[in-house]
């Protein structure tokens, strides 16, 4: 059986370091908002050039805090993509604002920047792009549009640790941005964890209050906030893994390149593509085929664990019925959602396994 993500292979390589670091947390009793989270802020932030970073309890709560810091009011609109996980749009709803969906680019699967301005109204306050699958969105164009219309930008970087556009890391373009350290992510903790990152002092200070009970100090609360702090055991795990993340990212890219080479002779398989200047980090390696469900069944019969991200677009999710969208509103998203298959792509995947998977895909898609 080839797992979709085999975390045990990674664990076997670093388990001694992991155990030692976790023991250090337990020994020092620095469990919450301690020196390990502070060290993670320093290390992860320095690698990206982030001015501010706040480790928090999950990628979803990072999005919640980031969106909350924008000061949205009831009825405000936030433009985002319907082809992603619901965590990007949930906080918009919880804040009584309105998610406004824009169709995706058929090549990168990210929000189609040529359609954003058509969706802007007098109620629009922000744009929330997602760097889907680890492929950077066109942030330069998004920021140009945002500046033109006086809008804020929140990047969802959950899939995209160390992805770049024209040499610049994602998460450094928007006003305030969210990162996920879910165990399955390229840089994953051993439980839920995430971070808010920003270059804005004002938004950082707002977010810092929101994620920790609205505190000014231990017993003074300036606003009504939440308890969304990262625990130091997760920070400790990430401090071990961060030493290897660039090596693991390179390995993902090498594995993706091998897949693409092995599929190059099959015109019925659409392989991942980036925009000019983009550096994909392949949180997911996603192909498009005509008979997606048939291919998935075939691969699972052969002992290959594959997935589908994301089969039901957000605009036709029952939870968002109240927005009034219907099937057919975003044809590119709907077409892609019916055709995409995510193949195993973790760093420890061997060349022989990739060749076996590719052979099985090519034998079915003819």
pLDDT at 329 over 90: yes
Indicate the length of the chain as a whole number.
366
Stretch 170-176: mean pLDDT: 98
pLDDT at 217 over 90: no
Give strand pairing partners of 214: none
Sign of CA dihedral 23, 27, 29, 35: negative
Beta-strand relationship, 98-101 and 77-80:
parallel
Whole-model pTM: value is 0.96
Domain(s) of CATH 3.90.1150.10: residues in the chain:
245-364
Instruction: List the Cα angle 231/236/240 in 5-degree steps.
Output: 150
In this prediction, what percent of the chain has a pLDDT beyond 70?
A: 100
Fold of the CATH domain 7-241: 3.40.640
Q: What is the largest CA-CA distance in the chain?
A: 66
Categorize the per-residue pLDDT at 216 as very low, low, confident or very high, splitting at 50, 70 and 90: confident
Q: What is the 3-state secondary structure (H, E, C) of the chain?
A: CECCCCHHHHHHHHHHHHHHHHHHHHHHCCCECCHHHHHHHHHHHHHHCCCEEEEECCHHHHHHHHHHCCCCCCCCEEEECCCCCHHHCHHHHHCCCEEEECCECCCCCCECHHHHHHHCCCCEEEEECECHHHCCCCHHHHHHHHHHHCCEECCECCCCCCCEECCEECCCCCCEEEEECCCCCCCCCCCCCEEEEECCHHHHHHHHHHCECCEEECCEECCCCCECECEHHHHHHHHHHCCCHHHHHHHHHHHHHHHHHHHCCCCCCECCCCCCCEECCCCCEEEECCCHHHHHHHHHHCCECCECCCCCCHHHCHHHHHHCCCCCCCHHHHHHHCCEEEECCCCCCCHHHHHHHHHHHHHHCC
CATH number of this structure's domain 245-364: 3.90.1150.10
Stretch 333-356: mean pLDDT: 98
pLDDT at 351 over 90: yes
Stretch 151-163: mean pLDDT: 98
How do residues 91-133 score in pLDDT, each as one tens digit?
Answer: 999 999 999 999 999 999 999 999 999 999 999 999 999 999 9
* Contact by Cβ (8 Å): 97, 66: no
**What is the C-alpha separation between 265 and 314, in angstroms, rounded?**
34
**What is the C-alpha separation between 293 and 306, in angstroms, rounded?**
11
Stretch 188-195: mean pLDDT: 98
* Contact by Cβ (8 Å): 334, 328: yes
Stretch 284-310: mean pLDDT: 98
pLDDT at residue 149, as a whole number: 98
Categorize the per-residue pLDDT at 218 as very low, low, confident or very high, splitting at 50, 70 and 90: confident
Domain(s) of CATH 3.40.640.10: residues in the chain:
7-241
Categorize the per-residue pLDDT at 18 as very low, low, confident or very high, splitting at 50, 70 and 90: very high
* Interior/surface letters 131-167, b for 16+ CB within 10 angstroms, e for the rest: bbbbbbbbbeebbebbeeeebbbbbbbbbbbbbbbee
How do residues 222-238 score in pLDDT, each as one tens digit?
Answer: 999 999 999 999 999 99
**Average pLDDT across the chain, whole number:** 97
How do residues 203-215 score in pLDDT, each as one tens digit?
Answer: 999 999 999 999 8
**What is the C-alpha separation between 240 and 236, in angstroms, rounded?**
7
């Amino acid at each position: 059986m080839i797992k979709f993500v085999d975390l045990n292979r990674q664990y076997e390589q670093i388990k001694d370091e992991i155990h030692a670091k976790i023991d250090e947390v337990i020994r020092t009793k620095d469990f919450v908002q301690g020196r390990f989270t502070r060290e993670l802020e320093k290390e992860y932030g320095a690698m990206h050039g982030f001015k501010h970073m706040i480790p928090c309890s999950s990628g979803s709560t990072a999005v919640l805090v980031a969106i909350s810091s924008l000061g949205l009011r009831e009825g405000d609109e936030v433009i985002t993509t319907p082809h992603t996980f619901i965590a990007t749009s949930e906080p918009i709803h919880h804040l009584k604002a309105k998610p406004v969906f824009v169709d995706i680019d058929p090549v990168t699967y990210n929000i189609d920047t040529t359609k954003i301005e058509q969706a802007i109204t007098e109620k629009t306050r922000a744009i929330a792009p997602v760097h889907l699958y680890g492929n950077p969105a066109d942030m330069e164009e998004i920021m140009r549009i945002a500046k033109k219309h006086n809008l804020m930008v929140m990047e969802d970087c959950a899939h995209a640790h160390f992805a770049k556009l024209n040499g610049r890391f994602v998460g450094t373009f928007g006003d305030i941005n969210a990162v996920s350290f879910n165990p399955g992510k390229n840089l994953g903790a051993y439980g839920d964890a995430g971070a808010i990152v920003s270059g804005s002092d004002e938004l950082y200070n707002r977010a810092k209050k929101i994620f920790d009970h609205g505190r000014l100090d231990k017993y003074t609360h300036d606003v009504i906030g939440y308890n969304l702090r990262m625990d130091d055991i997760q920070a400790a795990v990430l401090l071990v893994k961060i030493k290897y993340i660039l090596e693991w990212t390179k390995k993902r890219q090498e594995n993706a390149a091998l897949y693409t080479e092995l599929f190059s002779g099959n015109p019925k398989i659409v392989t991942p593509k980036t925009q000019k200047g983009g550096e994909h980090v392949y949180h997911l390696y996603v192909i498009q085929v005509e008979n997606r469900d048939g291919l998935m069944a075939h691969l699972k019969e052969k002992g290959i664990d594959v997935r589908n991200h994301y089969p039901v677009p957000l605009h036709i999710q029952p939870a968002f019925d109240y927005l009034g969208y219907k099937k057919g509103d975003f044809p590119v998203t709907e077409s892609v959602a019916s055709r995409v298959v995510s193949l195993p792509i973790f760093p420890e995947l061997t060349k022989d396994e990739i060749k076996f998977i590719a052979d099985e895909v090519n034998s079915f898609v003819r």
